Amino acid sequence: MFFKSLDLTTALRPLLLPDETLLFVQDAVGLYEGKYKIPNYQNGHAYLTSHRVCYVATEEPRKYCVGIDLKEIDRAEYQARFLKSSPKITIHPKPQNGKTDKSRSATSSPAIPQQSTLHPAARSPLPQTGISPSPSPQPINATWICPICTFSNPVPSNFDPATATAATNLPPCLACGIKPPFTTVLKAAISAATSREPATSSAVHIGAEENNTSGSERTDTTTRGSVCCPRCTFVNHPSLIECEICGAPLMPKGTASQIGSDVSRADSPAPFFQQTRSTNTEVSESIKLSFRDGGEKTFHERLKDALVQRKWLLQNAPPVPAPAQATASAGILPATAALESPQPAAPRVSAVGIAGLEQRGLEARMNNQLVIGNAFEDLEALMASAKQIVALAETLARESGMTSTNEGSAETNAVLSESAAALGMVTTKDMLSSGSENLYLSELSRNLAEYLTDDRQGILQREGGIMSLIDLWAVFNRSRNGVELVSPSDFERAAELWEKLKLPVRLRRFKSGLLVVQRYDWSDDKTVRQLQDWMEELRQLPPEDSVPWDWSMFGRAVTAQETAHRFKWSVGVATEELEMAEDRGVLCREEGIEGLRFWANYIVNPSDSVQ
């Protein structure tokens, strides 16, 4: 298990992977490695996502932030508060030599009988590096070893490692009748697929202790890459990480120098992990998260759920073919899984003409029914299938012509369609433990900052870099699709936190009390300079119709509307900015029958241009 470096967003939250969703956030969390506190990691936010556990320190967050992939986590233990000790969650890494290793070698060993010849010279010392699913869809002759009774079962012929999910129906073990863990079958299928590649590069595993069949093969290995057991001096096959005779941990030659003198890690060598990134620090022991401010129960619960759901497995998978399958993949509705046919690739009965259309309509309706039914079954499920529901709602809205009735809704639609993505990352009160109002506000504040600075949406750019808080509130809530709306007071308080949290946006109050949102680096000076440049420009351009004053000296007057148009501000913002410039003596006003107009200030400096 490794501490991986994190990419932080502008709002100093972990940058989520495309499919990753934020599950829980808790502040005032400290980090332990084994029994000891890690310095500088004692006060920060713990983020639980569907793929990772991330830690971001409050002080110097860019320097002190780490993440741990959930896939490397074996289990998480909850440790309640005891006297002065805060409640903790202990995260145990997946042991590389324990039962995982057994299952790994067990899963790959059945492939050996097909590999009649051994090529030790060409053997890769890192057999698992090619773990990415092979494009070949049908791994034939693959077998998986039942972890209960060690019987070799054939992988079902319709099992496709590229598309299979945890919810795919797996046949039970032929001998003992226990359903296998999904990963066992997946690994077996993948390793079978990779071993069907050119035989020279085939991964070779010596069967583990429980597999007596490979005993003779072991002796075939040349001593070139062998590893001598430090305890009993038995010369072991280099792929082994434990001595076959005495069980002592082995140090493979190739990795011995990389590991260096760190003896404590001898029991988790996992050689191929060493190559991932040199900057990463390895965690040999468990990690503890210490919750000084509560929230540990929810965190633990959701961490367990995430470990069960294994969303990261979907990362490389192509989009799920049937919506029902995706819902079921969340592992929530076993009923759906049962409904679903075990052979998703079953050829569809093709029909033509009206019958075909009707059939397709029927299918679509049934599909929709299933999605809606699943979604509303309980709220957890709704969260899981929110994306589909949003997509469905959009389709329905388009079909019923709802969108054509409200004019000027192009923007709304754009926001709505983007909201599916946005929904995944919004901070909701649900995500945080109740009672931690401050945390909710600060997370909402970060969320808002991210939303504003997100280049994909370009909210601030579109508004000319400045936007009134009320407009933002409306757009933001609209992007939440009417779910988990933010109250105005929460919103304002979250916006007021920007400055404190050092986020890249800031809240500004104009003289009139109008609150606006702008980039942190945007200042009045910049606005004034823009206005001055504009005024200078107007002085150079002859006006369209003749004017009674000396335009080459005084230029031309501008109204708030013109200013708003030019800088893409809203009129209210433009008025405020003009008055701000007037307040600084850069502009002066002219009230007339045409309304209020602003001029460069030649009253103060009649001879030269404005300073």
Interacting residues with another protein (CB under 8 A): 548-550, 553-554, 557, 582-583, 585, 588-592, 597, 599, 601-604, 606
* Residues in CB range of 394: below 8 A, 6 or more apart: 416, 417
Amino acid in position 549: W
Amino acid sitting at position 182: F
**DSSP secondary structure letters along 370-381:** HHHHHHHH-HHH
DSSP string, 281-312: EE--S-EEEEETTS-HHHHHHHHHHHHHH-GG
Number of other residues whose CB lies within 10 A of the CB of residue 410: 9
Cα 548 to chain center, whole Å?
63
Kindly state the smallest distance separating residue 585's Cβ from another protein, in Å: 5
Shortest distance (Å) from residue 512 CB to another protein: 13
* Contact of 159 with 168, CB cutoff 8 Å: yes
Closer residue to another protein (CB): 187 or 597:
597
Radius of gyration of the chain (CA): 32
Work out how close the CB of 563 gets to another protein at its nearest, in angstroms, rounded to a whole number: 16
Instruction: Classify residue 163 by burial, with Cβ atoms within 10 Å: 0-12, 13-18, 19+.
Output: middle
Instruction: Note whether 128 and 272 are within 8 A (CB).
Output: yes
CB of 500 to another protein, least distance (A): 33
Query: Shortest gap between Cβ of 546 and another protein (angstroms)?
Result: 11
Structure tokens at 74: 């074996």
Cα distance between residue 386 and residue 377, in whole Å: 13
464/585 with CB nearer another protein:
585
Tokens 């500088």 locate to: 40
SS3 label, residue 204: coil
Backbone angles phi, psi at 138, to 5 degrees: -115, 90
Q: Are 100 and 119 in contact (CB under 8 A)?
A: no
Contact of 290 with 32, CB cutoff 8 Å: yes
CB-wise, 534 or 554, nearer to another protein?
554
CB of 346 or CB of 593, closer to another protein: 593
From the CB of 292, what's the least distance to another protein, in Å?
Answer: 53
Residues 29 and 304: beta-carbon distance below 8 Å: no
Residues forming beta bridges with residue 591, ordered by sequence position: 596
Q: Minimum Å distance from CB 565 to another protein?
A: 21
- Cβ proximity to another protein, 522 vs 551, nearer residue: 551
Q: Which two tokens stand for residue 531?
A: 């206005």
The distance of closest approach from Cβ of residue 432 to another protein in the complex, given in angstroms and rounded to an integer, is 47
Nearer to another protein by C-beta: 208 or 558? Answer: 558
Check if the beta carbon of residue 164 is closer than 8 Å to that of residue 133.
no
Q: 154: how many CB neighbours lie within 10 A of its CB? A: 15
Nearer to another protein, 444 or 600 (CB): 600
- Cβ 593 to another protein shortest distance, Å: 9
Q: Which two tokens stand for residue 364?
A: 């679509």
Cβ closest to another protein, residue 421 vs residue 538: 538
Comparison of 370 and 558: residue with beta carbon closer to another protein: 558
**Dist. CA 260–CA 9, nearest whole Å:** 35
Whose Cβ is closer to another protein: residue 173's or residue 580's? Answer: 580
| Minimum distance from residue 527 beta carbon to another protein (Å) | 16
User: 18 or 606: whose CB is closer to another protein?
Assistant: 606
Query: Minimum distance between the CB of residue 405 and another protein, rounded to whole angstroms?
Result: 45
